[in-house]
Amino acid sequence: MSKNHSFDKHPLLASVTGSIRFNMMNDFMFKTVLQEKNHVLIGLICALLHLDESAIKSAIVQNPITPGEVIDDKTVILDVKVLLNNGALLDLEMQVVNKGNWIERSSFYLCRNYTSLKSGQGYLRVMPSYQIGFLGYTLFPESPEFYAVNMLMNKRTHQIYTDKLSISVVDLTKIDLATEEDRRYKIDQWAQLFKSTTWEEFKMLSIPETILEEVGETICKVSADEHMRQLLEAREDTIRNELDVQQLLDEAKKERDEVTAKLDAANTALADKDAELADKNNMLADANARIAELEKQLADKKA
């Protein structure tokens, strides 16, 4: 159950109210918070992997953003690649816009991280690789799910082939579908944390106060920095433009599907008419043949 945290040890966070200008749905803010606040990163990973915090001895971000670095989709990928306990690799990514390539992209990242053996090492030294995406859309509309974990599996027996490879998806638009297990590990609350648009909503989350303090402090600090704010705004503009393009694409596809459906219906109706006409032609041919036969019989009688 949600509660109102006091934040007695953090007066700035206790006093801040109103809208959150940049939340963690902004992938730049998402990466900035997770690379700067290791406690937050470990808490999130433990929730997603259903681990006790003591199970993670270290979580080192392998691809941090350099302060002041220009963020460009062509040069900087805003995923968070993490080395766990000096072995397993985990890749976290926020993707609000459906670019139509998540399945291929996530599979590529997963396999790339999995092939991390050094020269001379045996295959048994291969460490687990996890790919986890936080999506602002539903990947499979025909079977929506809040938190889905996918592994290699025997198609007939459902036997898991290996637990060292997994691709997980958190659908940020389907928090209402969170299972009891999802709620027990507070994955739904983490999703709400990313989506919080007001400080009042943020403070009501049932996530440890220490984590909320670190996230809130980073959001406030980053949002107040002029250069960082410009980068965040640039990311927002990019995301808005992508969403606009996606909306136009969806509308064009919908219009195409409607036209296709009407054309199919017209073709079906035309085919039905052709079939009806063919039946009538066959009936006419039968009638003509019958008339010809009767006329022949009549001529024979007259002869």
Please write the tens of the pLDDT for every residue from 134-146: 999 999 999 999 9
The answer to whether residues 200 and 240 belong to one domain is no
Q: What is the pLDDT of residue 111?
A: 86
Q: Return mean pLDDT, the chain.
A: 87
pLDDT of residue 77: 67
Distance in angstroms (rounded) separating the CA atoms of residues 283 and 38? 83
The neighbouring-strand residues paired with 273 are none
Beta strands in 163-286 (DSSP E): 165-171
Specify the pLDDT at position 136: 95
In a domain, 301, yes or no: yes
Distance CA 111, CA 128 (A): 11
Question: Which residues span the domain enclosing 245?
Answer: 226-303
* Per-residue confidence (pLDDT) for residue 263, from 0 to 100: 83
- Look at 92 and 300; give whichever has higher pLDDT: 92
pLDDT > 90 in the chain, percent? 52
Count how many domains the chain has.
2
Residues 222 and 16 sit within 8 Å (Cβ to Cβ): no
Q: Do residue 117 and residue 183 come from a single domain?
A: yes
Among 224, 247, 266, residue at a domain's last position: 224
Tokens of 109: 């990242």
**Beta bridge partner(s), residue 183:** none
Calculate mean pLDDT across residues 106-129: 78
Asked whether residue 1 carries a pLDDT value surpassing 50, the answer given is no
Closest CA to 146 of 191, 93, 114: 191
Q: CA-CA distance, 95 to 136, in Å (whole number)? A: 6
Do 239 and 105 share a structural domain?
A: no
Q: Is 57 exposed, middle or buried (0-12, 13-18, 19+ CB in 10 A)?
A: exposed
Q: Does some domain include residue 6?
A: no
2 located within any domain: no
- Answer yes or no: is 1 within a domain: no
Last residue of a domain, one of 201, 224, 247: 224
The 10 Å Cβ neighbour count of residue 139 is 16
46 and 86 inside one domain: yes
Question: Residues 239, 198: one domain?
Answer: no
User: Taking the CA of residue 299 as centre, how many other CA atoms within 13 Å lie in the half-sphere pointing to its CB?
Assistant: 6
Full-model pTM: 0.77
Each residue's pLDDT tens digit, 209-264: 999 999 999 999 999 888 888 888 888 887 777 777 777 777 777 778 888 888 88
pLDDT in tens, 162-210: 988 999 999 999 999 999 999 999 999 999 999 999 999 999 999 999 9
Tell me, what's the pLDDT at 70?
56
In terms of domains, do 103 and 176 share one? yes
Over residues 90-97, mean pLDDT: 94
Residues 30 and 164 in one domain: yes
C-alpha 177/C-alpha 249 separation (Å) is 27
Tell me what the mean pLDDT of segment 91-118 comes to: 87
**Do residues 82 and 202 both lie within one domain?**
yes
